[in-house]
Amino acid sequence: MHIEIRKSSMLPAQRAWWDLPNFIKAMVGGYGSGKTYIGALRAIYLSYVNAPYPGMYVSPTYPMAKKTIIIALKDMLDKAQIDYVYNKMEHQFVITEWNGNIWIGSGEVPASLKGPTLAWAGIDEPFIQDKEVFKQMNARVRESRASQREIFLTGTPEELNWGYDLINNDKAEYDIGFVVAKTIANIHNPVEYAKNLQAAYDENEQKAYMDGEFLNLTHGRVYKDFTRELLKVRDEPGGHPDSLKELPIECGMDFNVDALSCEIYRKGPGWIHFFDEIRLKNANTYDMAEALQKKYPGIAIYPDATGSARKTSATMSDHAILRAAGFTVRAPLSNPPVKDRTNAFNALMRNGNISFENCGELISDLERCTWRSGDIDKRDPERTHASDAAGYAVVYNFPVISRNVSYSPAW
């Protein structure tokens, strides 16, 4: 089978990136700028020109891969009517029409990426992954029989980390070329997409998440949009604060033995009001389930997603314990990136769509938590538990904006 890539249907930034002559090709762009699409197309193309030698396409996590690169690959192959088999257990695409092999990798444990020689590699959202992921791929792309050895990166800049150093390549360590893609330049996005992003992010965040600029967004206060003006009962639009009591009670939960935290709230369309919290020291999930059952039996809980596997007892996961106690558990397969959670929190605060009362631990977190080396500083054992608990509920119910927009393949 012969395939031909129609570069005429690509966006200008995608076309420029596609034609880069470098061994390492990077597309740095805003949300919805076409990065995932062009990365998936490149993976299919490289599997074709390098068949039968395999390549690996790495996502931050396998659950994230299921929502992004795996969907993009399947969509393109289906629309192009190209026969393939996807092995879920092995995380592998076999494109039968040319014996192409695309292995899907997860960057959660970089050491797990060690293995056989590769013809090519791609890393989706590399700048929220550890540099060791890039090092592993750089070491493995060495198949001497491959027609086109290559590493490609497609991602949104999150901070001034190793990705910034790699892209700028000031020490001339790598053969790398890069293209910047802006959200607003993607004509395939819905008309309101860019406007929604502008409403969700402040000026600096827009430069990173829409214009693809590297900025240090991980310094200073984590919850920079918190003010004490939010310490009041929120007036429900068209109603009185008393009507809050008519709304169902829910909570977010963080699993930590040293400070197991639960933040309780009511929410309406586009807003949320936190009004109580439970914090237990040297406790387990059974203890929290009992304490929560006494005050708010049978409510919906939005916990840390890792609780689906973490076991407080020898036989039950934390989520299973909560369900057995009569609670409804709502959680994704894996936790979203920390920045997604903090961005969702800050967006609500910036727009005045969140309020607090009787939540002293949560307020302390919002005022005191800071960034350290690109992550939330957790050196103070008293901090981050309450904001993490509340954040799981916030990002689940009020995610900022989807990172991905898809459209038809360029062939």
Per-residue model confidence as pLDDT tens digits over 297-338: 999 999 999 888 766 665 789 999 999 999 999 999 889 889
pLDDT on residue 409: 47
The backbone torsions φ and ψ at residue 246, rounded to the nearest 5 degrees and listed phi first, read -85, -15
CB 324 within 8 A of CB 316: yes
Residue 160 has pLDDT above 50, yes or no: yes
Per-residue model confidence as pLDDT tens digits over 120-153: 999 999 998 999 999 999 999 999 999 999 999 9
pTM of the complete model:
0.72
SS3 content of the chain, % helix, strand, coil (to 5): 35, 20, 45
Residue 179 has pLDDT above 50, yes or no: yes
Q: Comparing 371 with 253, which gets the higher pLDDT? A: 253
Residue 236 has pLDDT above 60, yes or no: no
How far does CA 144 lie from the centroid of its chain?
A: 35
Per-residue model confidence as pLDDT tens digits over 101-122: 999 999 999 999 998 899 999 9
For residue 408, give the DSSP letter. Answer: -
Ordered domains of the chain (ranges, CATH): 5-209 (3.40.50.300), 226-396 (3.30.420.280)
Closest CA to 213 of 272, 160, 259, 287: 160
Residue 197 has pLDDT above 80, yes or no: yes
Task: For residue 293, count other CB atoms closer than 10 A to its CB.
Answer: 15
Cα 230 to Cα 225, 235, 269, 367, distances in angstroms: 10, 11, 18, 12
pLDDT on residue 405: 46
